[in-house]
């Protein structure tokens, strides 16, 4: 709701209350997005379940719960179902990368993850872009109707055409089919044999606890996830900074303010993605061994470049967006540079985690999403006050300094990551 308020509206105390209510709804939705993968991702790694049932079952409930959001009788009901829809719509965020790892060989997988990861930066900006015009014309519920139409269409496609990709589940179902046909119980998949040695309660417990263990007790994973969480939190802070910069200072209406997010979209999809593909083809391919193996650390050079882009873009955005006398295209270009840096870091870390922890990719990416969404949901709660109290310039300086603190991490991980990885019982040892 906050995305559809005009400059005059924001000056009204009543409208400010509506803005805070809208931010709270966004926060709960994103927090549900972060918590959900910690449950759904490990369940998808159970051989008896697999990926597809998790996708279809959660998306089905997600679609129908949108009606509860639209027709909520009170604000508490609205907030409750916003959280639940985020929780149920979350599996694709963490499990999507693992499904890509299931389907493609390592040389192709990275390109597919690159395309998938571009939506982590680009997709959130489509909300203000599309929703701004829809909500201005028809009210905020139309943004939920649009989400309902898109997710309903996706549900139909997944229900009829989504195959199972998780190898242990495929082999377990194949073994069950052979046992049924031959009436011989000696046939079993490797995963079934391993699980038979462990109590069912222990299997489920380990699956649900594993994402938290990997997220908080694996030093590499924790620092990578914190870095991405910081970037994601700043991306969501932009949702609150853009109305201040472009509506209050440049006189944009809500629809035009949504168009200002195109800088982020263009930076991620039209510049960073092709540049990343070119780097992989022209430089990274030379580091693939004769046996086809590539060290996970060889995914990190783009993250080193992205780490340098982030503080530059934030300082640039802050001190050009702070003054109405500076043309509005200048901070938009700065936001595009932020998208380029964020995308390079996102994709490098996604590829690194999928290759360094291949057996537990869904759980590792679930922890990534948990911290990322926690920051993305929490940062907007104080963003508006921070920008108004500190000013856009100094607020961006503060955020830029935070990115400077993390800037050495990709360089250090590139140099020493393999040595640290060898000490982990979860990570892949060797290249």
Domain boundaries, the chain: 16-174+196-422
* Mean of the per-residue pLDDT values of the chain: 83
3-state helix vs strand vs coil in the chain, percent to 5: 80, 0, 20
CB-CB contact of 231 with 342 (8 Å): yes
For domain 16-174+196-422, which architecture applies?
Up-down Bundle (1.20)
Per-residue pLDDT at 6 exceeds 70: no
Per-residue pLDDT at 43 exceeds 60: yes
**Looking up tokens 């019982």, which residue turns up?**
425
Choice among 31-35, 88-92, 137-141 with the minimum mean pLDDT: 137-141
User: What proportion of the chain, given as a percentage, has pLDDT over 90?
Assistant: 27
Residue 418 has a pLDDT of: 85
Nearest to 388 by CA among 230, 293, 249: 249
For the range 102-111, what are the long-range contacts, defined as Cβ-Cβ under 8 Å and sequence gap of 24 or more?
102/51, 102/165, 102/166, 102/167, 103/165, 106/292, 106/293, 106/294, 106/355, 107/288, 107/292, 109/351, 109/354, 110/280, 110/299, 110/351, 111/277, 111/280
Q: Per the structure block, which two tokens stand in for 106? A: 């390592």
Q: Which residue has the higher pLDDT, 232 or 129?
A: 232
Choice among 45-54, 77-86, 339-348 with the minimum mean pLDDT: 45-54
Q: Per the structure block, which two tokens stand in for 171? A: 């082999």
pLDDT in tens, 291-338: 767 888 888 999 999 999 999 999 999 999 888 889 999 999 999 999
CA dist 100 and 109 (Å) reads 6
CA dist 403 and 382 (Å) reads 18
pLDDT in tens, 372-395: 888 888 888 888 888 888 889 999
Residue 430 has a pLDDT of: 59
CA dist 11 and 356 (Å) reads 50
Confidence band, pLDDT 50/70/90 cuts, at residue 239: confident
199 DSSP 8-state letter: -
291 DSSP 8-state letter: T
Q: Calculate the dihedral angle through the C-alpha atoms of 343, 348, 353, 355, rounding to the nearest 10 degrees.
A: 130
Q: What residue spans of 71-218 are helical by DSSP H? A: 75-88, 91-103, 106-138, 141-161, 167-182, 190-196, 200-217
Contacts of 405 (CB under 8 A, 6+ apart): none
CA dist 271 and 290 (Å) reads 31
CB-CB contact of 164 with 170 (8 Å): yes
Q: Which residue has the higher pLDDT, 379 or 157?
A: 157
Q: Per the structure block, which two tokens stand in for 204? A: 């489920």
Q: Per the structure block, which two tokens stand in for 185? A: 């119980």
Average pLDDT rounded to a whole number, residues 74-83: 90
Per-residue pLDDT at 10 exceeds 70: no
Q: Per the structure block, which two tokens stand in for 256? A: 């035009």
Furthest CA-CA distance within the chain: 80
Q: Which residue has the higher pLDDT, 225 or 428?
A: 225
Average pLDDT rounded to a whole number, residues 81-106: 84
Q: Residue 111's Cα: distance from chain center in Å?
A: 17
pLDDT in tens, 172-213: 889 889 988 988 888 888 887 777 776 666 666 666 788 888
CA dist 331 and 204 (Å) reads 49
90 DSSP 8-state letter: -
Confidence band, pLDDT 50/70/90 cuts, at residue 399: very high
Residue 382 has a pLDDT of: 84
Per-residue pLDDT at 127 exceeds 90: no
Report how far apart the first and last C-alpha atoms of the chain are (Å, whole number).
48
* Distance set, CA 107 to CA 115, 280, 324 (Å): 14, 10, 48
Q: Per the structure block, which two tokens stand in for 367? A: 């922890």
**Looking up tokens 């932009």, which residue turns up?**
238
Residue 408, judged by CB atoms within 10 A of its CB (0-12, 13-18, 19+), counts as: exposed
Q: How many helices (H) and strands (E) does the chain have?
A: 19, 0
Confidence band, pLDDT 50/70/90 cuts, at residue 403: very high
Per-residue pLDDT at 349 exceeds 50: yes
Q: Which residue has the higher pLDDT, 1 or 346?
A: 346
pLDDT in tens, 261-294: 888 889 988 999 999 999 988 888 887 777 767 8
């Amino acid at each position: 709701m906050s995305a559809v308020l005009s400059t005059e509206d924001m000056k009204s105390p009543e409208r400010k209350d509506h803005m805070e209510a809208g931010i709270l709804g966004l926060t709960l939705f994103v927090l549900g997005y972060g918590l959900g993968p910690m449950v759904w991702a490990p369940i998808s790694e159970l051989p008896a379940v697999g990926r597809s049932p998790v996708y279809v079952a959660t998306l089905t409930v997600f679609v129908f719960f949108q009606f509860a959001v639209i027709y909520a009788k009170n604000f508490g009901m609205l907030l409750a179902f916003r959280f639940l829809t985020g929780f149920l719509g979350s599996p694709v965020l963490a499990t999507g990368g693992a499904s890509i790892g299931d389907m493609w060989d390592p040389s192709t997988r990275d390109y597919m993850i690159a395309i998938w990861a571009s939506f982590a930066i680009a997709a959130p900006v489509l909300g203000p872009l599309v929703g701004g015009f829809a909500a201005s014309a028809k009210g905020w519920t139309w943004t939920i109707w649009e989400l309902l139409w898109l997710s309903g269409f996706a549900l139909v496609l997944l229900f009829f055409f989504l195959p199972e990709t998780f190898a242990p589940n495929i082999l377990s179902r194949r073994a069950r089919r052979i046992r049924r046909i031959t009436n011989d119980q000696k046939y079993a998949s490797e995963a079934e044999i391993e699980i038979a040695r462990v109590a069912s309660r222990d299997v489920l417990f380990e699956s649900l606890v594993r994402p938290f263990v990997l997220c908080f007790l694996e030093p590499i994973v924790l620092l990578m996830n914190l870095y991405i969480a910081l970037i994601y939190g700043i991306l969501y802070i932009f949702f609150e900074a853009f109305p201040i910069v472009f509506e209050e200072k440049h006189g944009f209406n809500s629809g035009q303010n949504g168009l200002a997010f195109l800088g982020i979209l263009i930076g991620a999809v039209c510049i960073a993605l092709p540049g990343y593909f070119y780097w992989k083809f022209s430089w990274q391919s030379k580091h693939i061994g004769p046996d086809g193996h590539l060290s996970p650390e060889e995914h990190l050079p783009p993250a080193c470049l992205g780490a340098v882009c982030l503080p530059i873009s934030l300082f640039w955005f802050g001190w050009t967006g702070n003054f109405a006398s500076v043309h509005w295209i200048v901070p938009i270009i700065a936001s595009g540079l932020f998208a380029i840096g964020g995308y390079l870091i996102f994709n490098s870390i996604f590829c690194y985690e999928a290759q360094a922890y291949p057996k537990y990719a869904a759980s590792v990416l679930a922890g990534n999403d948990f911290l990322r969404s926690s920051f993305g949901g929490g940062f907007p709660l104080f963003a508006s006050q921070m920008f108004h109290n500190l000013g856009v310039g100094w607020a961006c300086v503060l955020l830029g300094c935070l990115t400077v603190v993390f800037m050495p991490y990709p360089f250090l991980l590139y140099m020493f990551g393999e040595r640290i990885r060898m000490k982990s019982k979860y990570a892949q040892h060797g290249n």
